[in-house]
Amino acid sequence: MNKCLICFSPIEPFMSFGKMPIANGFLSPAQFSSEYFFELKVGFCPNCKMVQLTEQVDRERMFHESYAFFSSTSKRMAEHFKGFAQFIMSNYLKSPDPFVVEMGSNDGIMLQHFANVGIRHLGIEPSANVAKVAIQKGIKTVSNFFDEDLAHKIVAEHGQVDAFLGANVMCHIPYIHSVVAGIKILLKQDGVLAFEDPYLGDIVEKTSYDQIYDEHAFYFSLNSISYLFEQHDLEIFDIIPQGVHGGSMRYLISHKGARKVSDVVAAQRAKEEVLGLHRLETYDRLRRNIECSRDELMATLCDLKKQKKRVVGYGATSKSTTVINYCGITPDLVEFISDTTPIKQGKFSPRAHIPIRPYQDFTEDYPDYALLFAWNHGDEIMEKEEKFKKAGGKWIVYVPKVQVLE
């Protein structure tokens, strides 16, 4: 029986996606025979309400010196993180020589804004290749996994922090109690923890099941996150919904009682009750919606194949690994996937082994249809791809529902 990673009660598995590879594990043919698989299964904890994976992949298999995700590939995300940095600078860095730590700082997309104005900072980024890009930009970064032990070392060397930041990383860490204990040690008495992750409410409402993959150990709601931080005497004092990654939530957290709790927090709790995020039936319904989404997407792709249409994938996202392998999309349905990230080009998608090709291969010979795997960057992409539409190209999307955009 699986135990909850937060409160150690038995959890209720509600969906298995079957055998899955590493979501960011783009590979060369020489690596096909040694590809790693695990069962991707999600469960709900009836006690603390945390939605989580039931089986964890070792962190070194996912985050290493050849990590394929570089944050700075999206212009909109670059703007978003500039805004996040400015928000922290204007509101929470009031001391004479403030110090900011970010975990999962990747290629420095957010931390560069602190470095550029001379604010003391430190990035914690275990994937050495992306950390190296940040270091080359002059951003102080250590290549390590953040946890309680590392927090002790940081305090001893640099002192406590005014702000501890994280984006799309807190939900990646199954040993989250050690991370939160570390943050508690690091935070000054009036220090702030600000982090954001994809929001469970959006996943449920939009059936965006492709957020479920090996790296995402947790799917946070305000309710479940509050339970976790209460265990460590920390308190959520504000939340700010974000449009990025298909709907995210930014949580602002302090030592208990250190700051006034915004009314928005209680209002969001009430919304979560209405959405039913605290009830198992909601996740049974989510499973049924996921199954329908799969059937509709496969019917669309098979129909296009019969019509001899060319379909190409757009964006070799880690999310696409779940969709491709759960639905059973093969290279005869999707010819290749276009992606702007050099490390992914020339490789093959995890498990299904669909070729990943440079962006030029898309623009130089437009397909009839483009399957939008990077749907979370949809606005940015549609704006950029006016010519594809003018040439008669059509988009296939599957969030919030399967649709061919006319």
Where do contacts with ligand SAH occur on this chain (CB under 6 A)?
63, 67, 69, 71, 103-104, 106, 109, 124-127, 130, 145-146, 167-169, 172-173
User: 139 by DSSP, 3-state: which?
Assistant: coil
CA torsion through residues 242, 342, 400, 389, sign: positive
> In whole angstroms, how close is the CB of 72 to ligand SAH at the nearest point?
8
> In whole angstroms, how close is the CB of 292 to ligand SAH at the nearest point?
30
Under rule CB under 6 A, residue 72 binds ligand TYD:
no
User: 155 by DSSP, 3-state: which?
Assistant: helix
316 contact choice in ligand TYD, ligand SAH, none (CB below 5 to 8 Å, kind-dependent): ligand TYD
Contact 36, 21 (CB under 8 A): yes
Comparing CA positions, the residue from 57, 12, 42, 64 lying closest to residue 326 is 42
Contact 114, 84 (CB under 8 A): no
User: 10 by DSSP, 3-state: which?
Assistant: strand
Before 21, cis peptide (omega within 30)? Answer: no
User: 260 by DSSP, 3-state: which?
Assistant: coil
Distance (Å, rounded) from C-alpha 276 to C-alpha 278? 5
Question: Token digits for 342?
Answer: 């050099």
Under rule CB under 6 A, residue 340 binds ligand TYD:
yes
Residue placing its CB nearer to ligand TYD in the complex, 305 or 394: 394
Torsion, Cα of 12, 17, 20, 24 (10° steps):
-90
Under rule CB under 6 A, residue 315 binds ligand TYD:
yes
Of 127, 354, 376, 398, the one binding ligand TYD (CB under 6 A) is 376
Residue placing its CB nearer to ligand TYD in the complex, 143 or 341: 341
Under rule CB under 6 A, residue 321 binds ligand TYD:
no
Residue placing its CB nearer to ligand SAH in the complex, 80 or 351: 80
126 contact choice in ligand TYD, ligand SAH, none (CB below 5 to 8 Å, kind-dependent): ligand SAH
Q: How does DSSP classify residue 262? A: P
Residue with tokens 């807190």: 170
The residue count for binding ligand TYD (CB under 6 A) is: 19
Of 55, 148, 296, 380, the one binding ligand TYD (CB under 6 A) is 380
User: 4 by DSSP, 3-state: which?
Assistant: coil
Contact 397, 403 (CB under 8 A): yes
130 contact choice in ligand TYD, ligand SAH, none (CB below 5 to 8 Å, kind-dependent): ligand SAH
Question: What are the residues facing 192 on neighbouring strands?
Answer: 163
Residue placing its CB nearer to ligand TYD in the complex, 68 or 151: 68
Distance (Å, rounded) from C-alpha 231 to C-alpha 3? 17
Contact 39, 19 (CB under 8 A): yes
Under rule CB under 6 A, residue 317 binds ligand TYD:
yes
Of 14-22, 30-38, 58-66, 375-383: span binding ligand TYD (CB under 6 A): 375-383
Contact 160, 186 (CB under 8 A): yes
Of 69-77, 114-122, 171-179, 285-293: span binding ligand TYD (CB under 6 A): 69-77
Of 8-16, 26-34, 145-153, 317-325: span binding ligand TYD (CB under 6 A): 317-325
Comparing CA positions, the residue from 166, 172, 191, 190 lying closest to residue 250 is 166
Residue placing its CB nearer to ligand SAH in the complex, 42 or 130: 130
> In whole angstroms, how close is the CB of 149 to ligand TYD at the nearest point?
27
CB proximity list for 328: less than 8 A, separation 6 or greater: 298
Please report how the helices 222-230 and 176-186 are oriented relative to each other, as an axis angle in degrees rounded to 10. 60
Under rule CB under 6 A, residue 399 binds ligand TYD:
no
207 contact choice in ligand SAH, ligand TYD, none (CB below 5 to 8 Å, kind-dependent): none
Q: What is the largest CA-CA distance in the chain?
A: 67
Of 140-148, 277-285, 322-330, 376-384: span binding ligand TYD (CB under 6 A): 376-384
Under rule CB under 6 A, residue 377 binds ligand TYD:
yes
64 contact choice in ligand SAH, ligand TYD, none (CB below 5 to 8 Å, kind-dependent): none
> In whole angstroms, how close is the CB of 113 to ligand SAH at the nearest point?
13
Provide the 10 A C-beta neighbour count for residue 308.
Answer: 7
> In whole angstroms, how close is the CB of 317 to ligand TYD at the nearest point?
3
Residue ranges binding ligand TYD (CB under 6 A): 69, 73-74, 315-319, 339-341, 344, 359, 374, 376-377, 380-381, 384
